[in-house]
Amino acid sequence: MASETHTSTEYIKHHLQNLTFGELPDGSLGLAQTPEQAKAMGFWAINVDTIAVSFILGAIFLYLFAKVAKSATLSVPAGGQNFVEMIIEFIDDSVRGSFTGRNPLVAPLALTIFIWIFLMNLMDLVPIDYLPGLATVLGLPFLKVVPTTDPNATFGMSIAVFVLVIYYSIKVKGAAGFAGELALQPFSSANPVIKGIFIPINLFLEGVNLIAKPISLSLRLFGNMYAGEMIFILLAIMGGSFAAANMGGSSVLFGTQILLSLAWAIFHILIITLQAFIFMTLTIVYLDMAHQEHH
């Protein structure tokens, strides 16, 4: 697609546009055919590609791990079992190192977050034109195949973590204890008058700190993956420009573009793994903070 007669701006917009379902200008429900239609659909529009790819990757994760679990043996592990056990040991070590409480939910949650986000990030390594090109053949106007480049997906995951943090903060500390933690920290005083002055200040500071957790989780993941996707798109445009330039030395330029794409893909493997690890680690840390009682 990069070599077709599209402007660079149109090419970038096409690859960054989600397949959106919602209310069309005529009042009917359907898929947006242009970015303007998708924008006009408003808040209740559904990014079909983000949801579909996320669920497919989640199903693949569950299927593979369930298959390995059913065929697991007590002998020396090999193949898939060895790989899964390595991942589980890695997650277990991460949880033991960052979570000081006792909660059987934390380790499975950490495993799910790490593998699911890693698989969603991994879609960024699929050649940029393959799946959108296939979608065009099938009659779909757009297809964005990296769910974590959609802020709706990253905010959705971070809000789920935030709800768990609030739930366990209240469950472990009680409603009064959690409210006291927000109102009486970080500034406190034995003098009741000064303590009363500190309460609104503490509520503001702790409230900002609390709200910053899901925002930082979501924006960090979205920002890094969106930037990586943009670089792949720009490299594809570069390759299309080199291919279209029928001049001496164009083969050298095209080879340079291939090397740049390969180098960025190799480096991006580290990025997609690191982003999954950071999201998982921060989730564990936030839940650990929710389980700590301050006296």
- 3-class DSSP string for 106-141: HHHHHHHHHHHHHHHHHHHHCCCCHHHHHHHHCCCC
| Catalytically annotated residue among 3, 8, 152, 220 | 220
- The answer for residues whose C-beta is within 8 angstroms of residue 98's C-beta and 6 or more apart is 281, 284, 285, 288
Residue 20 near residue 46 (C-beta atoms within 8 A)? yes
Confirm whether 209 is a catalytic residue. Answer: no
| Separation of alpha carbons 255 and 208, rounded Å | 50
Residue in this structure with the two tokens 């899964």, named with its chain if needed? 84
Q: What does DSSP assign to residue 149?
A: G
Which tokens go with 57? 């990757």
Confirm whether 220 is a catalytic residue. Answer: yes
| Catalytically annotated residue among 216, 218, 246, 261 | 216
| Catalytically annotated residue among 18, 121, 169, 224 | 224
Greatest CA separation for the chain? 82
- The answer for residues whose C-beta is within 8 angstroms of residue 36's C-beta and 6 or more apart is none
Confirm whether 96 is a catalytic residue. Answer: no
Which tokens go with 202? 């503490």
Catalytically active residues are: 216, 220, 224
